Amino acid sequence: MSLVALGDSITAAEDSWAQQVARALGLACASYAVNGAVVAHVLRKQLARVQPGHAVACLYAGVNDVRSPGFEAEAFERDLRLVAEGLAPRADRLLMVTLPLRLGRPTAAPKPAVANAAVRRIAAATGATLCELDDLDGENLLQPDLVHPTAAGQREIARRAGRALGIR
């Protein structure tokens, strides 16, 4: 059994939060996350690579979507729902992650709140476990771009994800 992770640069990072959660669970980690990915990419390219039989599937996507001036909330929710519905039967558990509300410099607000509402609806509809990052903030947790987590930020995301999954 293993943990599979989909998403963007935050999940693709060296020693990412997903890798830390996998270690805490004693699982191998297969990550298909890539830098710059938007939810449409996760749907078209990453989901297709996921085989059934994982213990946990982790989905943290949307950061690049909400940072785009062309963010379309309906398309985002549609594609995210398709990813979650495609991942759910391929793992025993699905973990979905919200976005920090104070995201980016300049800020992407209010788009992260719109995206988070979609994440919550989809998590509820698919029975996914939810990891909340709305309040993730601070120079010790985020790099100066207010997008990418520092090493401490990756540990904090892993801690919150682990707590959501019921592990220490």
Q: Are 130 and 123 in contact (CB under 8 A)?
A: yes
CA distance linking residue 5 with residue 128, whole number of Å: 14
Count CA within 13 A, CB hemisphere, residue 47.
21
Q: What is the CATH number of the domain that holds 139?
A: 3.40.50.1110
At residue 91, the pLDDT reads: 98
pLDDT tens digits for 65-90?
A: 999 999 999 999 999 999 999 999 99
Mean pLDDT of the chain: 97
Q: Which two tokens stand for residue 41?
A: 């990419």
For residue 28, what are the domain limits? 2-165
pLDDT, one tens digit per residue, over 115-130 is: 999 999 999 999 999 9
Block residue for tokens 């991942």: 87
Q: Considering its fold, how many domains does the chain have in total?
A: 1
Q: Rounded to whole angstroms, how far apart are CA atoms 79 and 65?
A: 11
Residue in the structure block whose two tokens are 């495609």: 86
- Tens-place pLDDT, residues 141-159: 999 999 999 999 999 999 9
